[in-house]
Amino acid sequence: MPPRIAPPPPILPVGTQVVSQVAVRNIEGAIAHPRGAVGVIVAAPSDATHAYRVRFPDDFQCSLGRGEIVTLAHYQQGVMTAAGEVLADYNLYDRIIYRCVMGSRAFALDDDTSDTDRRGVYLPPAELHWSLYGVPEQLENEQTQEAYWELQKFITLALKANPNILECLYSPLVEHITPLGQKLVDLRERFLSKLVYQTYNGYVMSQFKKLSADLRNQGQVKWKHVMHLIRLLLAGAKATCRCAWKRIATSFSRSAAVKSRGPMSNAAGNRYTPSSPRP
């Protein structure tokens, strides 16, 4: 929830940023600034019945009554509330295309105290993407330990070899998947790159430092964290091996394709193989 903001004081002080609730007109009657323009109070009245002097970014000034302006903080809070209502109308949890279980339960390392962490991907409707409100990059529910990435955000993180994203794609416990979600999973090897070593190595080292700090400060480590570290190491090793095999397979395929073409001739009639320099 957005933080609660106290009601504005009876007289707004000089320097307060405000938003016009009406179109601002010049002395000729033409619109100088549309409704919703942001300005700053440069002169305040002595009582609530008189007008404020407001200056806008182009140095244009005009007098506006208290009912014709609202503080910027309250205006932004109203926009956030409206955005929340709009998102609630779409019920984005119905747009989930892939849901899996991650963490200890996915790898049979759980106990009676372990939570069930569900992660996945959702695809918002196009009209919400194009709206002024945009779409949340992630849906989170702390009570049910669920989190779902917006599809574009998910792909961006996958291309950066984010360990959490790759673990999500390779989870052995898939609870829900749509045809589009299946296409995403089928492409998971495309996200494996040399970045895997860098991202997993950084993640593992950060976890190892936490274990070292626990051992130094408390004299013992939490075995749940130890198992998490081992799981990360194994997952990183498997991902690295997949990357290596993918490069080997790609190299072999290219070599085989070159050999299948056989020798070729250049414009002078000299024969050569595509893998060797032209004469």
* Confidence band, pLDDT 50/70/90 cuts, at residue 266: low
User: Residue 108 is encoded by which pair of tokens?
Assistant: 């049979």
Which residue, 231, 158, 168, is CA-closest to 195? Answer: 158
Q: For the chain, what percentages of helix, strand and coil (3-state, to nearest 5) are there?
A: 45, 20, 35
Asked if the structure places residue 111 within a domain, the reply is: yes
Q: What is the pLDDT of residue 62?
A: 93
DSSP-derived secondary structure for 224-249: HHHHHHHHHHHHHHHHHHHHHHHHHH
Q: Which of 190, 206, 227 is the last residue of a domain?
A: 190
- The answer on pLDDT for 9 being more than 90 is no
| pLDDT greater at residue 163 or residue 269 | 163
Number of domains present in the structure of the chain: 3
Whether the full predicted model's pTM is greater than 0.85, yes or no, is no
* Lowest model confidence (mean pLDDT) among 76-85, 180-189, 205-214: 76-85
| Mean per-residue pLDDT over the chain, rounded | 78
- Do 168 and 183 lie in one domain? The reply is yes
Which residue, 70, 63, 73, 56, is CA-closest to 21? Answer: 70
- The answer on pLDDT for 148 being more than 90 is yes
CATH number at residue 106: 3.30.460.10
Which residue, 14, 32, 13, is CA-closest to 24? Answer: 32
Over range 252-273, report the average pLDDT. 54
| pLDDT greater at residue 170 or residue 75 | 170
Q: What is the pLDDT of residue 272?
A: 52
Asked if the structure places residue 272 within a domain, the reply is: no
Element (H, E) at 206: helix 195-218
User: Residue 125 is encoded by which pair of tokens?
Assistant: 């409707």
Over range 263-279, report the average pLDDT. 54
- The answer on pLDDT for 48 being more than 70 is yes
Asked if the structure places residue 146 within a domain, the reply is: yes
Q: What is the pLDDT of residue 267?
A: 54
| pLDDT greater at residue 277 or residue 179 | 179
